[in-house]
Amino acid sequence: MLQKSIPFDALPPRQETDRRRPGSVTGIACSLVASLRGLGLRPGLLPGESGLTAGGADLQVWPRKLGRSGLAAEYFLRRVAALIDGGIPVTLSLRELDPCDGGIRVLEDFCSCLRNALGADKPRMSKIGLSLRSHQIPLQAYFLISRTLLGDGPRYVILDSLQMQRHKNDRVQEETDRNWSFLWRQRKSEASLIPAYGAGVRTDCPLLGDEAAEAILPLHGMQVPAGSAWLPISLHLARFADGNGQINWPLLQTTLEGCIDLGDQLLDVLSWPTDCQRSDAWLNRRLGIVISGIGELVRRRGVDPAGLKCLQWLDEIILRLRRILWDRSRLIAGQTGLLPALARSDPSKDLCDNPHKQNWQRRWRLALANSAVRHRNLLVMSPYSVLPEGGDVEAGFTDLLPVLTHADAYAFAGQPTLSGWNIRAFKNFHSRAWAIMQRRNARSLIAAGV
């Protein structure tokens, strides 16, 4: 089940009282949210016990280690229950499950303990999502055990090169084929197994490094660094175009700049459910502008999605959109203050006070003047965003996937049923999306059909 943000008319009574005080934190947040929605944007907020939060939480879990320590297991289960009861959906990333070493039994025991800790309460269990790397244990076992014991929360499978490439080892290839077959067969079920494969998160700032994405945030199924804090804001691109797919750029630019301005202010009044997220929110100020409606834009324009001209047209749109977002972040950095993570990256901070340090400081100040930003990440895209909404989808829309190269991070929730496709087209779609994500640092446009 896709976790959804809760509308503000459903906030608890205590926070409803705070809303009537314009100067309160909640009142400020509600004013900012109203402004975002007035621009046609939808922030992914949730009402938590300590105030408004965003995105949900992720936790890494080693079921085998918990099984060896009753105290550790009790602490972990209480922590999960506290988050759930505080209104925070959670995705648990399962680690080190080995099919040759009783991994299926370990998973079953862990899910049973979690079910007991939540009192087998369906509404509580529905807020628990799981993610598992493919080839740890058979996907059929993962899906059946987790669904039977924990209900209908989202279930993700993290696909990697083992799943995406052809193998000379017959045993590995047989397992890979079984996984694809299973993913294909159950995609239409109400509670499906969701593929994810965005292995890294990048930034536009050359002074900061890219990061491994080892966790899944509940809202939008964003694949992110473990323990990171994000404010997702949804933007449907087709809403800024006419019936012929022509973008209203003055309106879109105003909306994008307003999104960054308001989102930056909203980050300062959110409450985060875990210590890691609180630290990350201060350090990295991550906004996740989730772009959808790309396929719908192409359908309105009435062009062949498999044509290279269509891909080039879309590439220019997404590149221009990305530049607007990052230019605004740089402007705010100059006006309000740069990203704290940049201050920590100063290579001269640990040097002794001497001419060598002063030289490094001059060079660092020059680099900051050219590259400083206010946010570590901004643009989030889903591979499904290139597909039109509703009805049959032509496989030719797969040729639009190269626009994903412009994203900083990826989202995987909302998997469509892909009516009219076969397993070959299904596998090709995900394999190509994965390959493009792996090569997204390349500057050249990837030709359609590659």
Would you say residue 27 lies in a domain? no
**What local confidence, expressed as pLDDT, does residue 366 receive?**
77
- Residue 347: predicted pLDDT: 61
In a domain, 150, yes or no: no
Amino acid identity of residue 144, one-letter, is L
Amino acid letter, 72: A
pLDDT by residue for the chain (450 residues), tens only, comes to 334 433 333 333 333 334 434 457 778 888 999 999 999 999 999 987 778 899 999 999 999 999 999 999 999 999 999 999 999 999 999 998 877 778 999 999 999 999 999 999 999 999 999 999 998 899 999 999 999 999 999 999 999 888 898 888 888 889 899 999 999 998 887 778 999 998 899 999 999 999 999 999 999 999 999 999 999 999 999 999 999 999 999 999 999 999 999 999 999 999 999 999 999 999 999 999 999 999 999 999 999 999 999 999 999 999 999 999 999 999 999 999 999 999 877 665 655 566 666 666 677 677 787 889 999 999 999 999 999 987 678 889 999 999 999 999 999 999 888 888 999 999 999 999 999 998 864 443 333 333
In a domain, 348, yes or no: yes
pLDDT at 251 (0 to 100): 98
Assigned domain for 100 exists: no
Provide CB contacts within 8 A for 306, sequence distance 6+. 396, 399, 448, 449
Tell whether 366 is covered by a domain: yes
The predicted structure's pLDDT at residue 419:
81
167: part of which helix (H) or strand (E)? none
Whole-angstrom distance, CA of residue 440 vs CA of residue 404: 8
d(CA 25, CA 36): 17
CB neighbour list of residue 276: distance below 8 Å, 6 or more residues apart: 226, 227, 228
Q: Around Cβ 11, how many Cβ atoms within 10 Å?
A: 19
Q: Three-state SS across 276-289?
A: HHHHHHHHHCEEEE
Q: In this structure, is residue 442 part of a structural domain?
A: no
Number of domains making up the chain: 1
Which two tokens mark 408? 């900083």
How do 42-43 and 230-236 pair as beta strands? Answer: antiparallel
Q: Is the dihedral of CA 225, 230, 232, 237 positive or negative?
A: negative
Domain membership of residue 347 as a residue range? 339-372
In this structure, is residue 359 part of a structural domain?
A: yes
What is the pTM for the complete model shown?
0.89
Any domain includes 360: yes
Task: From residue 222, give the alpha-carbon distance in Å to each of 163, 236, 335, 398.
Answer: 20, 17, 30, 21
69: burial class by Cβ within 10 Å (0-12, 13-18, 19+)?
exposed
pLDDT for the residue 187? 86
Which tokens is 236 given?
């449907």
CB 128 within 8 A of CB 82: no
